[in-house]
């Protein structure tokens, strides 16, 4: 157990204010004054956006997953399926965002089968915010929820501690400021699908080129009020290495031809089913 944790004997939950973290906070203050290293938050990087257009919503995300200063994955999928009419972009810890959206997706599917109707976007927002608030921000999942239902298109911004708000466009992640600058400059009401998709791509690219934690490609998902959905992986690939690699002229000495390594001997042993021994598995 960490020296900064404080275990309490099992008892009934006290009424009124809780001061159970007082001793822990005092230990943290003493450690800070004595020069001891303090626990730090995990650094994450992502750019996710969402906006409403005249006929649906468009979600966008970059595809870089980082582990501190190391790029762990160049083609990470950050737009998660919630329901047929609802998708969710996740920023923060990849495991938290993926499992949180999977859990809410299964709950909405049970609700759909029970109510025999399409789930509403505000229902998914309520389930997500209640779960995140229950853990007081310890689940590192900053979400952009988007979808269309009987009330039209919706975009919700969900913070890791559970607060939410709805706007025509929103951004999250470490590259959110660069993306928001693009939205605040070029967003207009009643944009068509093509213009909205191009604006989302431009906002994601602003995060890719201005934030070290964001990078690689741009994924987009278009959800329309008529029920159709278009998921595009790699809608924009600004960092495709194939074009740069084709510009490099390699020496022919670096290309080893077939058969350059001599074969000293070879043996061929035929294999038949008669050589296989089948053992019954114990089932009791």
Active site residue ranges: 46
Largest CA distance in the chain: 83
Cα 181 to its chain centre, rounded Å, is: 21
Q: Which two tokens stand for residue 264?
A: 């000293």
Q: Which two tokens stand for residue 37?
A: 């290293």
Q: Which residues contact 137 (CB under 8 A, 6 or more apart)?
A: 160, 161, 162
Q: Are strands 141-149 and 86-92 parallel, antiparallel or unpaired?
A: antiparallel
What is d(CA 36, CA 38) in angstroms, rounded to the nearest whole number? 6
List b or e across 236-269, with b for residues whose CB sees 16 or more CB atoms inside 10 angstroms. Answer: beeeeeeeeeeeeeeeeeeeeeeeeeeeeeeeee
């Amino acid at each position: 157990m960490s020296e900064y944790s404080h275990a309490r004997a099992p008892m009934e939950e006290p009424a009124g204010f809780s001061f159970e973290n007082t001793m822990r906070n005092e230990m943290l203050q003493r450690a800070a004054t004595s020069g001891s290293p303090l626990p730090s938050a995990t650094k994450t990087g992502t750019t996710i956006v969402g906006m409403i257009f005249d006929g649906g919503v468009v979600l966008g995300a970059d595809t870089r997953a980082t582990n501190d200063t190391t790029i762990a994955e160049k083609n990470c999928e950050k737009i998660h399926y919630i329901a047929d009419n609802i998708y969710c972009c996740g920023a923060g810890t990849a495991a938290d965002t993926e499992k949180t959206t999977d859990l809410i997706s299964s709950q909405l599917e049970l609700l759909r089968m029970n109510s025999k109707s399409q789930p509403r976007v505000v229902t998914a927002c309520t389930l997500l915010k209640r779960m995140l608030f229950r853990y007081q921000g310890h689940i590192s999942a900053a979400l952009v929820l988007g979808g269309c239902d009987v009330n039209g298109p919706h975009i919700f911004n969900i913070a890791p501690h559970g607060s939410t708000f709805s706007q025509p466009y929103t951004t999250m992640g470490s590259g959110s400021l660069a993306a928001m600058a693009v939205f605040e400059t070029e967003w207009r009401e009643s944009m068509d699908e093509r213009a909205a998709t191009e604006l989302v791509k431009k906002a994601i690219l602003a995060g890719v080129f201005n934030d070290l934690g964001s990078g690689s490609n741009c994924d987009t998902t278009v959800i329309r009020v008529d029920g159709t959905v278009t998921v595009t992986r790699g809608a924009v690939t600004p960092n495709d290495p194939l074009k740069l690699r084709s510009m490099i002229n390699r020496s022919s000495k670096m290309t080893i031809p077939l058969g350059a390594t001599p074969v000293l001997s070879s043996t061929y042993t035929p294999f038949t089913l008669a050589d296989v021994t089948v053992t019954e598995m114990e089932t009791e």
